Structure 1
Amino acid sequence: MSIMSGEYQNHLPIKCWAEDERPREKLLTKGKSALSDAELLAIVLGSGTRRTSAVDLARELLEHSQNNLIELGKQDHGQLTGIRGIGPAKALLVEAALELGRRRQFSEALQKAQVCSSQDAYQLVKSKLQDLSHEEFWVLFLSKSNKMIALENFSKGGLTGTVADARIIFRRALDCRCTGLILIHNHPSGTRKPSNQDVELTHKMKQAAQHLDLAVLDHIIVADDKYYSFADEGLL
């Protein structure tokens, strides 16, 4: 039995901890699901500081993000390095790990390939949009059988808005020979409710698409880990 436990142990260097409580050894012996978010993050960080263990540093990083991994994913390089003990190298390790997580989400969604619901569309795009601090406008181009042909970003904006150029979007739609489009943008504020501009844009895009024998199938608003679907709400 270890003579060191609890809060006292946590403030010692990890090499002084009981072996079965060290994050790396714990991962090997008990599996990744046995580790807390802070312990997993400590492995990513690799080391702490002279006064702080890697686990304590990871806890501080999580507390700075409201103990929410979604909020952690929104932190940019400057915000991460603003935390005591997180230098440029450690910040890059965290950013790289989070990006791998996003790419895994996208890869899993791509395997399905067919979009039959708003949930399918959301799963395809959430890793691209949910952590952004600015608005972006994307379009999902679909075949007649609702298979994904392309998913492309058409604009980046500020905190409260972005501009969608219908001419460029429909030119691309004709080039890739799609039959349906799903409009997608995010709300960094976290609110799902569409603005008046969102509603107006959706109706304009729908009308323009009809003249080209295309269909705007939905407009998805991504808001953190939630979404709003114009189609589901009967607004298309």
Structure 2
Amino acid sequence: MKTNTPKFTLKDWSVDERPREKLINNGPQHLSNSELLALLIESGNKGETAVQLMQRLLVSLNNDLVSLHKVSLEELMLWKGIGPAKAVKIKAALELGKRIQGAPSSKQIGLTSSQMAYDVLFPTMTYLEQEEFWVLYLNIQHHILEKKRLSVGGISETTVDIRILFKNALKVGAVSIIVAHNHPSGVLNPSQSDIVLTKKMKKAGENIDIKLLDHLIISEKGYFSFADENIL
């Protein structure tokens, strides 16, 4: 006679081992990544708890949350026990975590370093599958007037219209700009075309008294700053 294998949920765990109770009693910082993800999906599959399912998922990605962020909804739903609702919850939670990093402060602070500019751009420009070109338009105090995407390219290259770059700068009243593009490959060294483009932007800005403060190349591994390397 065939018997049905029970489907394990978090309620089947002892109270001390349940992620929800652990979070309430000790705080979220005491939970593992798999336990936090288990709270989102709430149940696993037949013979496997939510925590065990999330442990297997993370192990398959070398326990790298950045890799998990890159996994598509369709790929998540290939895992037994993860349907559309659970996959959406996981993707939404990861996106919120990413956006928190770039949430604006209630007190506007002038950008005075490449690290500060990177911190602003990181949530928008990492984990992308194609190159994008962004610009920060700044006032005289280096406060951000506008953050704008100017172009989207392919896997290894994107282009930008310098005329549109500075037309927008004049429109918002910017006195300086910081530009950035990402390298999906993770390689942070500038290409020859990156160097040529940077020189063109700097020269164009000088002609209308708008200063190019920096050009950043961004990936989830870090960033490269033309200004810091004295090649601006």
Using structure 2 for the length normalisation, give the TM-score. 0.91
Structure 2 residue ranges without an equivalent (≥5) = 1-6
Aligned partner (choices 101, 105, 108) of residue 105 of structure 1: 101
Tell me, yes or no, if structure 1 residue 34 matches structure 2 residue 35: no
Q: Indicate how the Cα distance of structure 1 residues 151 and 126 shifts in structure 2: closer, same or farther if over 3 A, else same.
A: same
Paired residues for 1:37-186 under 5 Å = 37-108=33-104, 111-186=107-182
Quick one: distance in 1 between partners of 2:154 and 2:47?
39
Q: Which has the higher helix share?
A: 1
CA contact (8 A) 2:9 2:42 kept: no
3-state SS of the aligned residue for 1:48?
Answer: strand
Deviations 1:139-194 (A, max 9, x none): 00111111111111111122111121111111100100101111111111111111
Quick one: distance in 2 between partners of 1:38 and 1:190?
26
How far the C-alpha of 1:90 sits from its partner, in A, is 1.2
Deviations 1:56-113 (A, max 9, x none): 1111222233211122222222232233332221111011101111221111567553
CA contact (8 A) 1:110 1:124 kept: no
Quick one: distance in 2 between partners of 1:157 and 1:136?
6
Deviations 1:105-153 (A, max 9, x none): 1115675531010000000010111111211110001111111111111
Question: Which residue does the alignment assign to 2:220?
Answer: 224
| 1:107 alignment partner AA | A
Moved more, 13-22 or 106-115: 106-115
Report the RMSD for the aligned CA atoms in angstroms. Answer: 1.7
CA contact (8 A) 1:130 1:225 kept: no
3-state SS of the aligned residue for 1:178?
Answer: coil
Moved more, 191-200 or 75-84: 75-84
Question: Which residue does the alignment assign to 2:4?
Answer: none
CA contact (8 A) 1:187 1:222 kept: yes
Q: Indicate how the Cα distance of structure 1 residues 134 and 65 shifts in structure 2: closer, same or farther if over 3 A, else same.
A: farther
Q: Indicate how the Cα distance of structure 1 residues 116 and 102 shifts in structure 2: closer, same or farther if over 3 A, else same.
A: same
Tell me how many residue pairs correspond in the alignment.
226
Quick one: distance in 1 between partners of 2:71 and 2:215?
27
Structure 1 residue ranges without an equivalent (≥5) = 1-10
Aligned partner (choices 207, 210, 213) of residue 211 of structure 1: 207
How far the C-alpha of 1:12 sits from its partner, in A, is 5.6
CA contact (8 A) 1:109 1:124 kept: no
Quick one: distance in 1 between partners of 2:104 and 2:143?
15
Quick one: distance in 1 between partners of 2:106 and 2:167?
24
